[in-house]
Chain A
Amino acid sequence: MPAAPQFQSEFLKTFTARGAYYDCSAPADLDALFGRERVTAYIGFDCTADSLHIGHMIQLMTLRRLQQAGHKPILLMGGGTTKVGDPSGKDETRQLLTPSQIEDNKQKILASIRHLLKFGDGPSDAIMVDNAEWLDRLEYIPFLREVGRHFSVNRMLTMDSVKLRLEREQPLSFLEFNYSIMQAYDFVELYKRYGCRLQSSGSDQWGNIVSGIDLGRRMENAQLFALTTPLITTASGAKMGKTAAGAV
């Protein structure tokens, strides 16, 4: 884990003091941004299940602390990306969910977090956005020409999510191969629609977030940021899973 920089801004100081800091793409620039203006930031959840686990809770607490410091959190629900399916950390293709299952999961997730954030129209009220809004309507050829040309397949083949499947000779469908492009595109779309500058997530999403930062620079000449949180482990340092024993 990289050592946390000495931050000056209220949000990043709190974020670090609460043990949530893992890594940041440009710490000094992000710190200055937080000190200067109200920052719009997002985290994304796919709608693969109808409830969240402790790993999601860290991300939600990040949004909560953003809001407490007067910034604007966006909760991005992956109604569109869930139709594609994240290949990261999975040896097999995820089972495809139907649109009604996805919608049902989304509603249940939203209901479960309504106490955690204040949603509304105020300047630092949280908003919920569903990436199906833009992903569902993409046109193939224009998308390839405007977005696809910025992605290097050579580089995509080195991403963990892809590399592991290839090394193990497990099938990876073209559908899944597109997942990280969709996530990168989400970041740029949120920048265009809401001026969103920051994506926060668990440390395992670093590669996908950086793809979004690159795309933002190429398409919009914007400086976007990544801020990641550590993986939750037990007191002894092992990964905390639903089936692994371990005391807090």
Chain B
Amino acid sequence: MGRFLRLFTDMPEAEIVRLEKLQGAELNEAKKTLATEATAILHGREAAVQAAETARKAFEEGVSAEGLPTITAKLPDGILNLAVASGLAVSNSEARKLIANNGLKLNDAAVSDPRLIVDTYALNSDGVLKLSSGKKRHVLVKPA
């Protein structure tokens, strides 16, 4: 952790020494600092703060957030089609496997039926669907 903070940020040594001592859940704070500081060097401070906020919303609040990859799709549509269209699976059979492993989520709830038809009733309060593979990959689906 300290190695990457030294290489990819301008943070002073004393602050890096403090961050690299963190353990467990606190370690996430160090990782977030690394992500934000490195992003600020590349994209500017404003963009980095915006990206950090998007990530926080998507990963910590579990709500759909502006700035996530977004596709449009015509609803109703089958869950397998949507998983492939969103890029979370490369094929219907991979999408099926993902569902069998409880790895595909629709609005943060695991999908159990590969024949599920998704219609506009599933849209959340922002008017979109959030499809996720595992904890980290999220795509928003907007109705066409």
Q: Interface readout for A170-200 with B: 1 if CB under 8 Å, 0 if not?
A: 0000000000000000000000000000000
Interface residues of B in 68-104 (CB under 8 A from A): none
The 9 closest A-B pairs by CB, nearest first: A18-B6, A19-B6, A115-B44, A19-B3, A19-B7, A248-B4, A116-B41, A18-B7, A58-B7
Q: How far is the CB of B18 from chain A (nearest CB, A)?
A: 16
B41 partner residues in chain A, CB cutoff 8 A = 61, 64, 115-116
Contact B13 A17 (CB under 8 A): yes
Q: Let me know if A28 is at the binding interface, CB within 8 A.
A: no
Identify which of A112, A113, A116, A248 gathers the most chain B CB atoms within 10 Å of its CB: A248
A112 partner residues in chain B, CB cutoff 8 A = 42
Size category, B interface: 10 to 19
Q: Let me know if A20 is at the binding interface, CB within 8 A.
A: yes
List 12 A-B pairs, Cβ < 8 Å: A17-B13, A18-B6, A57-B42, A61-B7, A61-B8, A64-B10, A112-B42, A115-B41, A116-B42, A235-B1, A248-B31, A248-B34
Binding site for B on A (CB under 8 A): 17-20, 57-58, 61, 64, 68, 112-113, 115-116, 232, 235, 248
Q: Let me know if B115 is at the binding interface, CB within 8 A.
A: no
Contact A248 B1 (CB under 8 A): yes
B38 partner residues in chain A, CB cutoff 8 A = 57
Interface residues of B in 42-61 (CB under 8 A from A): 42-44
Q: How far is the CB of A32 from chain B (nearest CB, A)?
A: 25
Q: How far is the CB of A66 from chain B (nearest CB, A)?
A: 13
Identify which of A57, A68, A112, A115 gathers the most chain B CB atoms within 10 Å of its CB: A115
A49 to B38, CA, bound (A): 21
B6 partner residues in chain A, CB cutoff 8 A = 17-19
B4 partner residues in chain A, CB cutoff 8 A = 248
Known A17-B13, A248-B34; judge A113-B8 contact (CB<8 A). no
